[in-house]
Structure 1
Amino acid sequence: MSALPCQRRPELFFDTYGRALDLAKQLCASCPLRAQCLSEALERGEPHGVWGGEILVDGAVVATKRGPGRPRKVAA
């Protein structure tokens, strides 16, 4: 059995920039454990990373993640 995408390139799944996280999400798309991965990550309260094809920040699913840098001038 071949390794799962997250086992082949784990650094992508915990990167701080959008491009790597987008690639990690794409790799999750074909994973047979995708739904289980996301469900268990949410149950455990994983603080960050890509789990089951979704980006988690502070234990919640977000559409995108801002990279490090200056904070926004106007609150979102």
Structure 2
Amino acid sequence: MTSLLTTFPNPADTSATMLPCHDADAADLFFSERPADLERAKSLCAGCPLIEECRQGALERAEPWGVWGGAIFENGRIIAVKRGRGRPRKNRDQEVA
């Protein structure tokens, strides 16, 4: 069995069809509004041979949003976690009715 590193010794030689972000079934995950989808996209990036180049390029371009190089970007900066849509509760101890 060959690995991506042995198949593609130079990241520039990597076929776009082998990259997780180019999978038609997963493409929407990388720009989703749902935090769970973004976490799934980050996990898909974990095995990508171009993860570092992708993240660095996104930082240089100040990508406005999405998952790039295994990181969530918002307003051109990396954020740790994407908060879900909606207004947070005023009192966190309150139960949702």
Gaps (5+ residues) in structure 1? none
Question: Pairwise CA RMSD of aligned residues?
Answer: 1.6
Query: TM-score, normalised to structure 1's length?
Result: 0.88
Gaps (5+ residues) in structure 2? 1-14, 92-97
The percent identity for this pair of structures is 51
Give the residue type in structure 1 aligned to 2:83: R
Q: Per-residue deviation at 1:3?
A: 2.7
Q: Per-residue deviation at 1:72?
A: 6.2
Aligned to 1:5: 20
* Runs of 4+ residues deviating >3 angstroms: 71-74
Aligned residues: 74
Structure with higher RCO (Cα < 8 A, 6+ apart) = 1
Query: TM-score, normalised to structure 2's length?
Result: 0.70
